[in-house]
């Protein structure tokens, strides 16, 4: 709604400028306020409508606040609605005046018409004025008990609104308990759904601070609740069904019978007319069957038809959303759509964003059997449709070529592109041919013949030009006129604006020189001279470097620019499997559209309900499988875990530091996220490490007088008080070392109580010379990574410790440089851990 801040926007000439009209309105409203004459309501309506229309176009009409409130004594519902709307818009900016409204809203909450009761209650809750919350409790309480379901429905969401204004008031009034009761008993499905939404949000926000809340949050996922909701699923509206299904997808069934029961019950949801319900059901099926490989495959088969229908029959926006999900699925099961590739052929009139996703799908589903058809179709796009589409299509052909074994036909197609003599087609194709040659050098002969015919004058785009120059250098011996082409390029050095191209040119000239010295000498001279005087630092440095190399010894220079190369077998995948799994966990959400997990694009306080419990799931899986043989892959995943938990920790510090809600660091949506992000987190941890020793001194002197310091009663193993380990080394070691001990420890109840701030434990462990390098998790599961070093030698112990605060248990995993002393260390660690909270 238009806040007053907008009122300075200059209105268009046809619109009233504001001031005069507003004071007129004020006058007229005042006259009507007391009048009981027949027809008053009609004139009030006209005036109210005017006020609202001013408000909508951004004129500040807050000055008529008291008049509006005075006029609100009416039984006319349309008038009331307009008045509520007005009040809701301006109350936040006039907290004093809004006290006036409380009275009439409270009165309306007791009106005999349920519609008015509901509307008044909704307006009351949307005032968002913190000092008025006390007036909310009464009406909300009676609203939740109201005989009419419309009022209860509004009240359920009202509780959530109250919680966001003042969580303590909401909790003190015990509203969540009432909501839970309503959710499990109310005959009206929409009331149940709204209670569920409210409870999900409240419990997950509370769970960060309260044990009980996180237990309650688990209860939402318990068998009785899930079964209760599932049994009523048909009563819910389509949107509420989505919410219930989302909850069900988090449920962990106890055995496979349960899984099949749920799937049988939900089978018919796949035929629902609302695509959102279908997609939510798909998610339930996929998540439930993760542990049953065969069934999981069957599920893929089952969901195929409904999803394909949505692609072709919905709106383009809808197809876009569904295609994003299909892309995720096809990455996990490429064979799935390989016979249905025709569904992803582009229609002429489709918007570009849909076409682009369809091209990605075509690339992903291409295999030996369908490549020919797909590439034929792609070539059609490359030749026919608009330029961006042509470019994307050529890239798609290239990607298919790079992922196939039988590239014979594709290479021919690419070479045909070059003969089309359209600049943008040539440019895209050159880049592709270059990548192709790096992977399949055996094709060089055919490609070079065609590439050699391309005049470098027709290639303008930097990337394409760089690719062409690279090929000229790399295949100098096969291309007759390579030295001369390079020479003319070097002579026109100043015309070349892209540093990337100039860098490539330097290298290519040198490569050419070592193969055909006499012919290239002139080009080399020109290139080096131009390069040395280049204003771009990198170009200058490279020219200088080559110059000195050549001065030193030509054979060394050759070794540098033209070493024997191996063909690239696989180009690096940009996303780790861990990230992909996380996106899969967040199926049916924005994460899939963005192709990155939600923590990368939402602020901490806007993470949804159960986002943390996913984290827990990951943790416990990690704990189980690592007990088995430590496969390289598993350790890798653990590493990722570690990275994530460090960043989680950093974020949780964010809001408390700067207080204001939205200034928490926002993530750049385009950056290559994980790596750089995690790295910067690690660096910041690194910086805090050197301060650790002082903290220890403090603590030793003050609070830990009772605990035995290693000096007082020396255990057989002595640890280095000032141990230092940088996160990268930690990660490396964690990956390399096998688990030497894995056991369960315990934490005292007092310790668990102190765990509300994990920092307390970190300080405590530091007192025992065990340092924390990363921590994360949410109640009840916390995860810590510790390290310690022996006092005498630089032998390191690494610890992963998962503490479950509800059971007071700790899972401890130790990795050590020196396996022999790890038992001594684990004893030390256990005693340190169990003494936590005792001081």
Using CB under 8 A, which residues numbered 180 to 219 contact other proteins?
187-190, 193-194, 197, 200-201
Q: Which is nearer to other proteins, 669 or 819 (CB)?
A: 669
CB 147, min distance to other proteins, A: 11
Contact segment (CB under 8 A) with other proteins among 74-82, 221-229, 474-482, 682-690 equals: 74-82
Nearest residue (CB) to other proteins, 119 versus 437:
119
Using CB under 8 A as the binding rule, whether residue 231 contacts other proteins is answered as no
Beta carbons of 253 and 265 less than 8 angstroms apart? no
Name which of residues 714 to 733 contact other proteins (CB under 8 A): none
DSSP string, 400-468: HHHH-S--HHHHHHHHHHHHT--HHHHHHHHHHHHHHHHH-GGGHHHHHHHHTTS-GGG--SHHHHHHH
Query: For other proteins, which is the closer residue by CB, 663 or 819?
Result: 663
Residue 602's closest CA among 610, 612, 613, 591?
Answer: 591
> What is the SS3 assignment for 719?
strand
**Contact range with other proteins by CB under 8 A, out of 272-280, 488-496, 574-582, 803-811:** 272-280
d(CA 47, CA 26) in angstroms, rounded, equals 9
3-state secondary structure of 837: coil
Radius of gyration of the chain (CA): 34
**606 is a contact residue toward other proteins (CB under 8 A):** yes
**Which pairs with CB-CB distance under 8 Å and at least 24 residues apart come from 497-503?**
497/462, 498/462, 498/465, 498/466, 499/536, 499/538, 499/539, 500/462, 500/463, 500/466, 501/462, 501/465, 501/466, 501/469, 502/531, 502/534, 502/536, 502/539, 503/538, 503/539, 503/542
Q: Is 419 in the site for other proteins (CB under 8 A)?
A: no
* Residues of span 76-105 touching other proteins by CB under 8 A: 77-78, 81-82, 85, 92
- How many residues line the site for other proteins (CB under 8 A)? 119
Among 169, 210, 589, 830, binds other proteins (CB under 8 A): 589
Residues 569-588 that bind other proteins (CB under 8 A): 586, 588
Task: Examine residue 143 and tell whether it contacts other proteins (CB under 8 A).
Answer: no
Largest distance between two CA atoms of the chain: 108
Instruction: Please state the closest distance from residue 428 (CB atom) to other proteins, in A.
Output: 14
Out of 26, 44, 217, 269, the residue judged to bind other proteins by CB under 8 A:
269
Should residue 289 be labelled a site residue for other proteins when binding is judged by CB under 8 A? no
Q: In angstroms, what is the minimal distance from the CB of 516 to other proteins? A: 36
Is residue 221 near other proteins by the rule CB under 8 A? no
Kindly tell me which residue out of 37, 273, 570, 702 binds other proteins, with binding defined by CB under 8 A. 273
> 348 vs 535, which CB is nearer to other proteins?
348
Contact segment (CB under 8 A) with other proteins among 262-270, 442-450, 716-724, 776-784 equals 262-270
495-534: contacts with other proteins (CB under 8 A):
none
- Of residues 358 through 377, those in contact with other proteins by CB under 8 A are 373, 377
Q: Which of 19, 24, 34, 49 binds other proteins (CB under 8 A)?
A: 49
Q: Is 338 in the site for other proteins (CB under 8 A)?
A: no
Q: How far apart are CA 327 and CA 357, in angstroms?
A: 8
Contact between 654 and other proteins by CB under 8 A: the answer reads no
Member of 28, 148, 742, 795 binding other proteins (CB under 8 A): 148
Using CA atoms, how far apart are residues 693 and 684, in angstroms rounded to an integer?
A: 17
Pick the stretch among 285-293, 321-329, 470-478, 819-827 that binds other proteins (CB under 8 A).
Answer: 321-329
Residues 299-318 touching other proteins, rule: CB under 8 A, are 305-306, 308-309, 312-318
Which of 160, 362, 432, 801 touches other proteins (CB under 8 A)? 160
Which one among 97, 99, 115, 554 touches other proteins, defined by CB under 8 A?
115
Q: Could you give the string, one character per residue 657-686, with x where binding to other proteins holds by CB under 8 A and - elsewhere? A: ----xx---x--x-----------------
CA distances from 231 to 239, 288, 299 (A): 17, 17, 22
Instruction: Dig out the tokens for 237 from the structure.
Output: 């509206």
Cβ at position 725, least distance to other proteins in Å: 35
Question: Binding of other proteins at residue 271 (CB under 8 A)?
Answer: yes
Q: Is 757 exposed, middle or buried (0-12, 13-18, 19+ CB in 10 A)?
A: exposed
> What tokens were used for 372?
């020919």
From 473, 483, 609, 758, residue interacting with other proteins (rule: CB under 8 A): 609
Does residue 806 bind other proteins (CB under 8 A)? no
By the rule CB under 8 A, 74 interacts with other proteins? no
Please choose, from the candidates 644, 810, 800, the residue with its C-alpha nearest in 3D space to the C-alpha of residue 737: 800
Question: Nearest approach, Cβ of 413 to other proteins (angstroms)?
Answer: 16
The encoded tokens of residue 707 equal 């605990």
- Contacting range for other proteins; rule: CB under 8 A; set: 143-151, 207-215, 688-696, 805-813: 143-151
Binders of other proteins among 743-782, rule CB under 8 A?
A: none
Question: Whose Cβ is closer to other proteins: residue 246's or residue 650's?
Answer: 246
Residue with tokens 């087609």: 425
Q: Closest distance between other proteins and the C-beta of residue 674, in Å?
A: 17
Candidate list 464, 526, 592, 816; residue touching other proteins; CB under 8 A:
592
Reference 610, options 199, 286, 210, 258; nearest CA is: 199
Q: Would you give the end-to-end CA distance of the chain in angstroms?
A: 54
Strand partners, 772: 786
Using CB under 8 A as the binding rule, whether residue 538 contacts other proteins is answered as no
The Cα–Cα gap between 145 and 186 comes to 10
Chain centroid offset of residue 581 CA: 12
Phi, psi at residue 221, to the nearest 5°? -100, 10
Does residue 777 contact residue 646 with C-beta atoms inside 8 Å? no
Give the Cα separation of 638 and 737 in Å (integer): 13
Query: Would you give the binding string for other proteins spanning residues 24-43, x where CB under 8 A is met?
Result: ------------------x-
Q: Which is nearer to other proteins, 596 or 783 (CB)?
A: 596
546 binds other proteins (CB under 8 A): no
Q: What is the side-by-side strand order in the sheet with 741-746?
A: 741-746, 809-816, 796-804, 781-789, 771-778
């Amino acid at each position: 709604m238009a806040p007053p801040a907008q009122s300075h926007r200059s209105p268009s000439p046809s619109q009233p400028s504001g001031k005069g009209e507003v004071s007129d309105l004020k006058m007229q409203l005042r006259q009507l306020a007391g009048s009981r004459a027949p027809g008053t309501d009609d004139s009030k309506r006209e005036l109210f409508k005017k006020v609202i229309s001013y408000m909508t176009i951004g004129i500040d009409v807050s000055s008529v606040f008291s008049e509006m409130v005075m006029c609100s004594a009416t039984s006319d519902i349309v008038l009331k609605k307009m008045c509520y709307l007005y009040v809701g818009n301006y109350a936040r900016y006039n907290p004093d005046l809004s006290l006036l409204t409380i009275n009439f809203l409270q009165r309306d909450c007791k009106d005999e018409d349920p519609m008015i009761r509901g509307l008044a209650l909704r307006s009351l809750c949307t005032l968002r004025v913190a000092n008025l919350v006390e007036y909310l409790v009464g009406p909300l309480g009676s609203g939740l008990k109201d005989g009419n379901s419309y009022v209860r429905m509004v009240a359920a969401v009202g509780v959530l609104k109250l919680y966001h204004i003042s969580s303590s008031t909401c909790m003190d009034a015990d509203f969540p308990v009432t909501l839970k009761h309503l959710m499990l008993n109310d005959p009206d499905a929409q009331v149940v759904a709204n209670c569920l939404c409210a409870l999900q949000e409240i419990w997950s926000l509370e769970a960060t601070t309260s044990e009980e809340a996180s237990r309650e949050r688990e209860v939402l996922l318990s068998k009785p609740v899930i079964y209760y909701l599932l049994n009523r699923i048909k009563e819910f509206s389509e949107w509420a069904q989505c919410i219930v299904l989302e909850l069900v997808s988090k449920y962990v069934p106890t055995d496979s019978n349960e899984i099949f029961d749920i799937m049988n019950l939900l089978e018919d949801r796949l035929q629902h007319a609302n695509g959102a319900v279908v997609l939510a059901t798909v998610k339930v099926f996929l998540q439930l069957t993760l542990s049953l490989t065969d069934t999981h495959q069957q599920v893929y088969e089952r969901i195929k038809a409904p999803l394909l229908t949505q692609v072709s029959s919905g709106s383009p926006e809808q197809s876009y959303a569904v295609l994003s999900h299909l892309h995720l699925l096809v990455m996990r099961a490429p064979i799935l759509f390989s016979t249905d590739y025709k569904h992803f052929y582009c229609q002429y009139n489709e918007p570009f964003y849909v076409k682009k996703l369809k091209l990605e799908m075509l690339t992903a589903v291409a295999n030996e059997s369908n490549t020919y058809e797909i590439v034929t179709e792609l070539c059609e796009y490359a030749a026919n449709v608009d330029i961006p589409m042509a470019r994307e299509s050529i890239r798609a052909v290239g990607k298919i070529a790079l992922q196939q074994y039988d590239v014979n036909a594709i290479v021919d197609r690419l070479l045909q592109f070059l003969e089309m003599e359209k600049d943008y087609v040539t440019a895209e194709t050159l880049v592709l041919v270059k990548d192709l040659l790096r992977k399949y050098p055996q094709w060089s002969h055919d490609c070079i013949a065609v590439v050699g015919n391309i005049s470098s004058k027709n290639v303008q785009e930097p990337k394409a030009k760089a690719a062409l120059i690279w090929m000229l250098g790399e295949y100098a011996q096969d291309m007759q006129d390579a030295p001369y082409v390079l020479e003319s390029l070097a002579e026109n050095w100043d015309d070349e604006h892209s540093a990337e191209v100039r860098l490539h040119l330097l290298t290519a000239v040198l490569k050419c020189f070592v193969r055909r010295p006499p012919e290239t000498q002139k080009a080399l001279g020109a290139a080096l001279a131009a390069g040395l005087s280049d204003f771009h630092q990198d170009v200058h440095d490279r020219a200088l470097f080559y110059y000195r190399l050549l001065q030193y010894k030509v054979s060394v220079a050759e070794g540098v620019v033209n070493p024997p190369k191996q063909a690239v077998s696989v180009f690096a995948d940009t996303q780790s499997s861990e990230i992909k799994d996380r996106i899969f966990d967040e199926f049916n959400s924005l994460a899939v559209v963005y192709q990155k997990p939600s923590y990368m694009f939402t602020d901490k306080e806007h993470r949804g309900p159960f986002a943390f419990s996913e984290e827990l799931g990951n943790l416990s899986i990690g704990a189980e499988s690592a007990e088995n043989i430590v496969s390289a892959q598993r350790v890798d995943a653990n590493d990722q875990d570690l990275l994530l938990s460090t960043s989680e920790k950093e974020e949780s510090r964010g809001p408390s530091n700067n207080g204001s809600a939205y200034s928490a660091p926002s993530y750049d949506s385009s950056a290559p996220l994980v790596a750089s992000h995690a790295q910067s987190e690690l660096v910041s941890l690194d910086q805090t490490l050197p301060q650790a020793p002082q903290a220890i001194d403090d603590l030793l002197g003050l609070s830990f007088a009772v605990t035995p310091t290693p000096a007082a009663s020396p255990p057989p193993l002595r640890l280095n008080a000032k141990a230092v380990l940088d996160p990268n080394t930690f990660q490396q070691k964690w990956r390399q070392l096998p688990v030497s001990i894995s056991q369960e420890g315990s934490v005292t109840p007092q310790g668990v109580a102190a765990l509300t701030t994990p920092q307390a434990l970190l300080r405590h462990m530091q007192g025992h010379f065990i340092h924390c390098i990363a921590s994360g998790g949410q109640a009840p599961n916390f995860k810590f990574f510790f390290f310690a070093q022996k006092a005498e030698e630089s032998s390191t112990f690494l610890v992963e410790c998962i503490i479950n605060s509800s059971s007071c248990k700790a899972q401890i995993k130790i990795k050590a440089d020196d396996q022999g002393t790890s038992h001594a260390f684990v004893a030390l660690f256990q005693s340190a851990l169990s003494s936590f909270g005792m001081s």
